[in-house]
């Protein structure tokens, strides 16, 4: 009888032990599941500097005196009329005036796509669909067209106000970073490009970003008072690669909130096949 009782006790003990181990294992499994499904928390105070380079956000259209492809029966050139404004250069000065142009039709030798070419009779920098602009000579600052490199600064003084453009980014060549001791013109990529503007004693303002320039870089095309408000406006070339042209326009009179300028228009022309 004692043997039977002892056997029952042993069996009950083993069963209780196995049940306890099973509970511990379940708890461990629960803990593992909790760790795997845990979501990271993002700091709400983290500052992310991004700007939209979407052409569809234009305040108004702009066009270059070049060839534009017709796509799905539509071509940007078709909207150009004599009611637009021509920003052009003459005898070393810049003017706003009535456009004088001829539109011709061609076929792209490479892609076979139909083209509309704007042939301007003036030295046109940009056509603007902004008839509110006043015709006449523009006050501007002479600046050579050149690549605006990361770590570079340009200072302008206009109507006794100081303006500073500053660029950031990383210049790459065959996978390596170009140092100050190497000719920067040997670059093939510039990444994380940012352009900042400071006016007077105000805060620095981020006005343009680009993730990648391939064999190209931002260039300053024009600095002057296009809209006649006594403040500087800017025209930049921002093509991302050699198979396109992209020009953006910033006007001070369209600035919002506490900003100094606003990107009001962008026009892009593709040259690839």
Do the Cβ atoms of 141 and 165 come closer than 8 Å?
no
Predicted pLDDT of residue 271: 80
Q: What is the pLDDT averaged over residues 20-43?
A: 39
Do the Cβ atoms of 84 and 129 come closer than 8 Å?
yes
Is the pLDDT at 66 greater than 70? The verdict is yes
Q: What is the pLDDT averaged over residues 4-20?
A: 42
User: Please, which pLDDT band fits residue 1 given cuts at 50, 70 and 90?
Assistant: very low
Q: Give the tokens for residue 33.
A: 């599941």
Task: Give the C-alpha separation, 239 to 219, whole Å.
Answer: 9
Length of the chain as a residue count: 273
Q: What is the pLDDT averaged over residues 147-152?
A: 94
**pLDDT tens figures, 175-191:** 566 665 556 666 789 99
**pLDDT tens figures, 102-129:** 999 999 887 788 999 999 999 999 999 9
Q: Scanning the structure block, which residue is given the tokens 């593709």?
A: 270
Task: Give the C-alpha separation, 181 to 49, whole Å.
Answer: 30
User: Please, which pLDDT band fits residue 54 given cuts at 50, 70 and 90?
Assistant: low
Q: Would you kindly state where each structural domain of the chain is located, as residue ranges?
A: 55-270
**Cα–Cα distance list, 262 to 62, 96, 120, 252 (Å):** 15, 20, 27, 6
Is the pLDDT at 55 greater than 60? The verdict is no
Query: Under DSSP, is residue 190 helix (H, G, I), strand (E, B) or coil?
Result: strand
Task: Give the C-alpha separation, 126 to 266, whole Å.
Answer: 11
Is the pLDDT at 19 greater than 70? The verdict is no
Is the pLDDT at 43 greater than 70? The verdict is no
């Amino acid at each position: 009888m004692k043997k039977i009782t002892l056997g029952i006790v042993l069996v009950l003990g083993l069963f209780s032990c196995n049940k306890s181990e099973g509970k511990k294992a379940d708890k461990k499994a629960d803990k593992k599941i909790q760790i795997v499904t845990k979501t990271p928390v993002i700091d709400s105070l983290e500052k992310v500097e991004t700007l939209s380079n979407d052409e569809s956000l234009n305040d108004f259209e702009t066009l270059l005196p070049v060839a534009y492809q017709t796509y799905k029966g539509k071509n940007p050139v078709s909207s150009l009329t004599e009611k637009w404004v021509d920003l052009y250069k003459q005898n070393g000065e810049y003017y706003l005036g009535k456009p004088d142009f001829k539109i011709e039709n061609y076929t792209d030798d490479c892609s076979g796509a139909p083209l509309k070419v704007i042939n301007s009779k003036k030295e046109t920098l940009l056509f603007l669909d902004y008839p509110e602009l006043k015709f006449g000579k523009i006050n501007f600052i002479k600046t050579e067209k050149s690549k605006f490199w990361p770590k570079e600064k340009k200072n302008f003084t206009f109507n006794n106000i100081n303006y500073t453009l500053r660029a950031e980014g990383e210049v790459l060549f065959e996978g390596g970073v170009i140092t100050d001791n190497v000719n920067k013109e040997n670059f093939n990529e510039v990444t994380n490009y940012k352009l900042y503007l400071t006016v007077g004693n105000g805060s620095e303002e981020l006005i343009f970003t680009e993730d990648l320039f391939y064999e190209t870089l931002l260039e300053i095309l024009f600095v002057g008072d296009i809209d006649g408000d006594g403040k500087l406006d800017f025209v930049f070339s921002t093509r991302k690669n050699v198979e396109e042209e992209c020009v953006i326009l910033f006007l001070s009179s369209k600035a919002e909130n506490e900003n100094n300028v606003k990107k009001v228009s962008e026009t892009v022309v593709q040259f690839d096949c």
